[in-house]
């Protein structure tokens, strides 16, 4: 039987493949990179993560060496306010990769990505209910003393 840590590279690779496939299905958008969609208090739309996504996002966050800090304005903790960029861009979750505001083309229909969502959920052998991105980072922040 494989130990838990022996499965991590496979999970990371499998998730990366899903993200790569998703990126091929997203049409070119006219995103201005205004970062509004990373400001959940404004949009009312907070990304939900599967357990594997949460693990990979947390690893990426840990690699930044930053401490977890809840934003008073309700924006994503991974958003660098000064530079207006995502600090975990390569590991940003599915919801961030597939969400676009209406002005920039909108979110792709679920039927176009439903198979990828199923594949992602199948990666979670002990699947837990999706959790919000800030909740994931907060709980893992305590774990990793971020
Ligand atoms: S998708 Fe829309 S809200 Fe999000 S960064 Fe691009 S232009 Fe801004
Ligand atoms: S993870 Fe990155 S792309 Fe997603 S909401 Fe946070 S800052 Fe924005």
**Atom of ligand 1 lying closest to residue 32 CA:** 7
Cα 7 to ligand 1 centre (Å): 35
Strand ranges (DSSP E) for the chain? 48-49, 79-80, 85-86, 131-132
Query: What is the value of pTM for the model shown?
Result: 0.80
Which one-letter DSSP state was computed for residue 45?
A: -
Q: Residue whose CA is closest, atom 2 of ligand 2? A: 86
Range in 34-43, 107-116, 118-127 the model is least confident about: 118-127
Query: What count of other Cβ atoms lies within 10 Å of the Cβ of residue 91?
Result: 22
Residue the block writes with tokens 């709980």 = 139
36 C-beta closer than 6 A to ligand 1: yes
Q: Is the pLDDT of residue 141 over 80?
A: no
Query: Is ligand 1 within 6 A of the CB of residue 104?
Result: yes
* Average pLDDT of the chain to the nearest whole number: 82
Q: Whose CA is nearest to atom 4 of ligand 1?
A: 37
> Residue 39: nearest ligand to its CA?
2
């Amino acid at each position: 039987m494989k130990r838990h840590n022996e499965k991590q590279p496979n999970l990371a690779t499998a998730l990366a493949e899903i993200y790569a496939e998703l990126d091929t299905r997203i049409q070119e958008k006219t995103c201005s990179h205004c970062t509004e969609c990373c400001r959940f208090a404004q949009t009312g739309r907070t990304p939900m993560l599967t357990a594997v996504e949460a693990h990979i996002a947390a690893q990426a966050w840990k690699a930044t060496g930053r401490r977890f800090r809840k934003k008073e304005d309700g924006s994503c903790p991974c958003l660098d306010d000064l530079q207006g960029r995502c600090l975990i861009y390569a590991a940003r979750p599915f919801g961030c990769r597939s969400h676009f505001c209406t002005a920039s083309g909108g979110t792709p229909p679920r039927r176009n990505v439903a198979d990828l969502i199923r594949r992602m959920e199948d990666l979670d052998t002990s699947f837990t209910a999706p959790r919000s991105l800030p909740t994931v980072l907060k709980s893992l922040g305590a774990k990793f003393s971020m």
